[in-house]
Homo-oligomer: A and B are copies of this chain.
Amino acid sequence: MSPSARRTGRPRSAEADRAILGATRAALVELGWAKLTLGDVAARAGVAKTTLYRRWASKCELVVDAIAAAFDEHLEATDRGSLHADVEAVVIRLGALLQRPETGTALMAVIAEAMHDEALRCRVRSAIVDRQKRLVTVGRERARLRGELPREEDPQESARNADLIFDTVAGAVLHRLMISAEPVDPRWARDFTDLLLYGLTGADSGGAAAGPAPQGAQKPAGSV
Give this chain's copy count. 2
Q: Which of B85, B218, B224 makes the CB contact (< 8 A) with A140?
A: B224
Chain B residues within 8 Å of A157, by CB: 206-207, 220, 223
Contacts of A158 in B (CB 8 A): 223
Q: How far is it, in angstroms, between the C-alpha of A187 and the C-alpha of B114 when the chains are bound?
A: 25
Interface size class of A (residues with CB under 8 A): 35 or more
Q: Is A75 an interface residue (CB 8 A)?
A: no
Q: A5-13, A19-27, A39-47, A173-181: which one contacts chain B?
A: A173-181
A160-B206, A168-B172, A204-B150 known; A223-B214 Cβ under 8 A: yes
CA distance A182 to B121 in the complex (A): 12
| Supplied contacts A105-B115, A166-B175, A198-B214, 13 more A-B pairs, CB within 8 Å | A105-B112, A114-B181, A152-B223, A161-B205, A164-B188, A165-B200, A165-B224, A166-B180, A170-B171, A172-B172, A195-B199, A198-B201, A202-B202
The 6 closest A-B pairs by CB, nearest first: A171-B175, A199-B199, A171-B171, A108-B112, A109-B112, A214-B223
Q: What residues make up the interface of A, taking CB atoms closer than 8 Å to B?
A: 32-34, 81-85, 101, 104-106, 108-109, 111-116, 121, 124-125, 129, 140, 146-150, 152-154, 157-158, 160-161, 163-168, 170-176, 178-182, 188, 191-192, 195-209, 211-224
